[in-house]
Amino acid sequence: MKHSFLTRPGFTLVEMLTVIAIIGILVALVAGAMVAVRPRVQKAMIDAEIKQLEMALEAYKAQYGEYPPDGTDATAVKRHLAKAYPRATNLNVSGINPGNALVFWLGGPIKDGRPIGFSKKPTNPDFTGSDTTTPRTTPLFEFNPAQFGTVSGNFATYTAKTGGAPYVYFKAKISGGTSSYSGSYNADGENITAYKKGSVWYGEKKFQILSPGLDGKYGIGGDINTAVKNVNAFDNQTNFGSIDELAD
């Protein structure tokens, strides 16, 4: 009686190398797609965070009657504090600037690495965090301490999730019904100012939140059609749009 044995053909070396080559091509395609998608995801994350900061500023206005000052005018800071805390007597706050104003006004002073809100005592809102017995307000924005940039005393800058340069906040100054922006903020040697188009300011009668985008560079601000020609400003993101999409 004869027995027949069935043999299973295996992969030849050529076939195996072909499969490996195909897998390599697929991995390269997926990796290339990931590289292309990543910047869009990062920019979307910044846009989402800017919108959340914008909502927090609106909540601040609803609570205190106006948007917080950006720190470029000491007189405006004192006037705002007197309006927001009419029963308080110690309203001396210094050190606020467009780079740390968002964290201070929306979160309160920094203590143990996090913003702790303001004291609920109407005669002493406590801007230093020294009042450890009186209940404190809840921050209007949930700041992630991992995103703090420079922390100095009671103040901290807040950076985008994809970069180390801080969000910059400018508040519009209104006089006689006319809205304008003045003052500047120096970040990494760049003296950035608010944006406008011709004679019309973006964020008229409100505010501007500026992010340097993915490259961490701001440019100088100013007229949008001039600013967009500066490579440092081209990918900046703001609460009123992306710089590269705003120019004529």
In a domain, 65, yes or no: yes
Domain, as residue range, for 62: 44-246
166-199 per-position pLDDT tens digit: 999 999 998 887 889 999 999 878 899 999 999 9
In a domain, 90, yes or no: yes
In a domain, 147, yes or no: yes
Number of separate domains in the chain: 1
In a domain, 108, yes or no: yes
Q: Could you give the 3-state DSSP secondary structure of residue 84?
A: helix
In a domain, 180, yes or no: yes
The answer for residues whose C-beta is within 8 angstroms of residue 189's C-beta and 6 or more apart is: none
99-125 per-position pLDDT tens digit: 999 999 999 999 999 999 999 999 999
Strand 195-197, strand 222-223: pairing: parallel
In a domain, 201, yes or no: yes
